[in-house]
């Protein structure tokens, strides 16, 4: 108990010395920003335990660890077979009395004091289930919770876009958008669609719809084509950065995420595009040309469900990275002229 008291006093002193308003929820991370968390974190264990993390971070150890620091601990996720935060919390009444529901504090206490004190944190306890009296209480949120994302499937209805072997670009765009929307929602984002079905939507409607949601972010999905040139391939991205400062960062995050998961050739990010859906946008926005339907190889990829899943995972990765880069939890993220 003395160690717990000393731990709380150190927290208070740290905040007083730094002149920071005391906040119990932030105390644990602020006091031990460089604590060795290896006893409570194992990359392979973490991503394999949670399918949502595996889809995004299986090949990104740094990103997975960042997620653990910023989201995982607060959500009570288990990242090591030897540490279960709920077992640790329930096993020691003195810790429960000291830290209440500040889950991060239990992780930091264990690595800072618990191990040396011989405390055990193994077990299979799960998060307490809600009771009727808990209805309306906060529940764990995904890494994109609070972000609004507008997804725009290029073309539609009487505007087919590129056509190859009887396949319309509009349908490929819509398939990618719907897969992306489902994945983003699974990570906590609110998703809006400019066209959730095969309907014609004007460019004017699209950018007006964007600007009706000032706290959202916007991703427009297209396929490219270069008739007569079957060898041209790769992924392009477009935004309009002048006057829209966040767009270049947002576009870069989405573009790099999609390139990473698909392995597509980078054809470049153009930051002064005159495509109307980004030119007239007042929110962070990007138009992604996912590949060339005129390339036989990319046509096969773009029309395959598996590759479309990779594009969706890349966009999701990009949005998570954008959220981490901006640390802004309030971001709720016809034709040939586009």
Q: In this predicted model, what pLDDT tens digit does every residue of 180-228 receive, in sequence order?
A: 999 999 999 999 999 988 999 999 999 999 999 999 999 999 999 998 8
User: Of 84, 21, 72, which is closest to residue 47 (Cα–Cα)?
Assistant: 72
Average pLDDT score over residue span 3-12:
41
Mean pLDDT over 295-318 rounds to 95
Q: Residue 328's CB: how many other CB atoms inside 10 A?
A: 15
Mean pLDDT of the chain: 82
Q: Which two tokens stand for residue 293?
A: 């339907």
Residue 165's pLDDT is: 94
- Is residue 320 predicted with pLDDT exceeding 50? yes
Specify the pLDDT at position 136. 44
Which are the contacts of 144, defined by CB distance < 8 A and separation ≥ 6?
184, 187, 188, 189, 316, 319, 320, 323, 333
Q: Which range, of 84-98, 132-146, 267-281, averages the lowest pLDDT?
A: 132-146
pLDDT for 135 equals: 44
**How many angstroms separate the CA atoms of 269 and 283, rounded?**
18
Nearest of 96, 74, 87, 77 to residue 124 by alpha carbon? 87
Q: Which residues contact 5 (CB under 8 A, 6 or more apart)?
A: none
The answer to whether residues 282 and 207 touch, using CB atoms and an 8 Å cutoff, is: no
Work out the burial of residue 132: count CB atoms within 10 Å of its CB; fewer than 13 is exposed, 13-18 middle, 19 or more buried. exposed
pLDDT tier, 129 (very low <50, low <70, confident <90, very high otherwise): low
Cβ–Cβ under 8 Å, residues 249 and 255: no
User: Residue 173: which of 277, 102, 25, 19 has the closest Cα?
Assistant: 277
Task: Determine the pLDDT at residue 23.
Answer: 37
Q: In the structure, what pLDDT confidence band is assigned to residue 60 with cuts at 50, 70 and 90?
A: confident
Cβ-contact 198, 157 below 8 angstroms:
yes
What is the band of 128 on the pLDDT scale with cuts at 50, 70, 90?
Answer: low
3-state secondary structure of 288: strand
Question: Is residue 57 a contact partner of residue 47, using CB atoms and an 8 Å limit?
Answer: yes
Question: In terms of pLDDT, which residue wins out, 72 or 286?
Answer: 286
Contacts of 92 (CB under 8 A, 6+ apart): 119
Determine the average pLDDT of the residues in 295-305.
Answer: 96
- Contact between 287 and 220 under an 8 Å Cβ cutoff? The reply is yes
Query: Is residue 29 over pLDDT 80?
Result: no
Q: Residue 224 contacts by C-beta under 8 Å, 6 or more apart in sequence?
A: 162, 236, 289, 290, 291, 292, 293, 294
Give the percent of the chain with pLDDT over 90. Answer: 53
pLDDT for the residue numbered 296: 96
Q: How confident is the model at residue 289 (pLDDT cuts 50, 70, 90)?
A: very high
Q: Where are the beta strands (DSSP E) in the chain?
A: 148-153, 163-164, 167-168, 190-193, 216-224, 235-238, 266-270, 285-292
Q: Give me the CATH code for the 148-225+232-337 domain, please.
A: 3.40.630.40
CA atoms within a 13 Å half-sphere pointing along the CA-CB vector of 322: 33
Mean pLDDT, residues 65-82: 87
Show me where the domains of the chain are located: 2-134, 148-225+232-337
Distance CA 105, CA 92 (A): 13
CA distance 49 to 61: 15
CA pair distance 323, 312, nearest whole angstrom: 17
pLDDT of residue 228: 86
Average pLDDT over residues 244-268: 93
110-123 pLDDT tens trace:
888 888 889 999 88
Let me know: does 187 contact 320? Beta carbons within 8 Å: yes
Task: Answer yes or no: is pLDDT of 4 > 90.
Answer: no
* Per-residue model confidence (pLDDT) at position 26: 40
For residue 274, pLDDT over 60 is answered with yes
């Amino acid at each position: 108990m003395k160690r717990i008291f000393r731990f709380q006093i150190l927290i208070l002193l740290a905040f007083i010395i730094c002149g920071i308003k005391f906040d119990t929820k932030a105390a644990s991370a602020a006091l031990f920003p460089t604590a060795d968390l290896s006893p409570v974190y194992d990359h392979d264990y973490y991503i394999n335990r949670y399918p949502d993390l595996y889809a995004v971070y299986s090949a990104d150890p740094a990103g997975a660890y960042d997620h653990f620091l910023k989201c995982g601990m607060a959500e009570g996720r288990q990242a090591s077979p030897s540490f279960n935060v709920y077992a640790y919390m329930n096993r020691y009444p003195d810790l429960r009395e000291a830290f209440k529901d500040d889950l991060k504090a239990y992780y930091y206490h264990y690595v800072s004091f618990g191990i040396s004190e011989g405390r055990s944190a193994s077990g299979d306890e799960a998060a307490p289930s809600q009771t009727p009296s808990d209805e309306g209480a906060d529940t764990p949120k995904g890494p994109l919770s609070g972000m609004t994302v507008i997804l725009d499937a290029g073309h539609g209805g009487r505007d087919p876009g590129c056509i190859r072997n009887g396949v319309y670009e509009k349908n490929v765009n819509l398939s990618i958008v719907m897969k992306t929307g489902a994945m983003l929602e699974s990570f906590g984002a609110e998703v809006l669609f400019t066209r959730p079905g095969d309907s014609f939507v004007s460019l004017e409607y699209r950018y007006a719809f964007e600007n009706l949601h000032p706290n959202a972010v916007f991703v427009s999905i297209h396929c490219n084509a270069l008739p007569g040139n079957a060898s041209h391939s790769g992924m392009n991205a477009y935004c309009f950065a002048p006057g829209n400062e966040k767009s270049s960062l947002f576009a870069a995050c989405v573009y790099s995420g999609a390139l990473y998961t698909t392995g597509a050739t980078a054809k470049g990010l153009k930051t002064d595009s005159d495509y109307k859906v980004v030119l007239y946008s007042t929110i962070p926005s990007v138009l992604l040309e996912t590949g060339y339907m005129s390339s036989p190889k990319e046509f096969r990829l773009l029309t395959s469900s598996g590759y479309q899943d990779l594009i969706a995972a890349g966009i999701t990765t990009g949005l998570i990275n954008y959220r981490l880069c901006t640390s802004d939890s309030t971001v709720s993220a016809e034709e040939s002229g586009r």
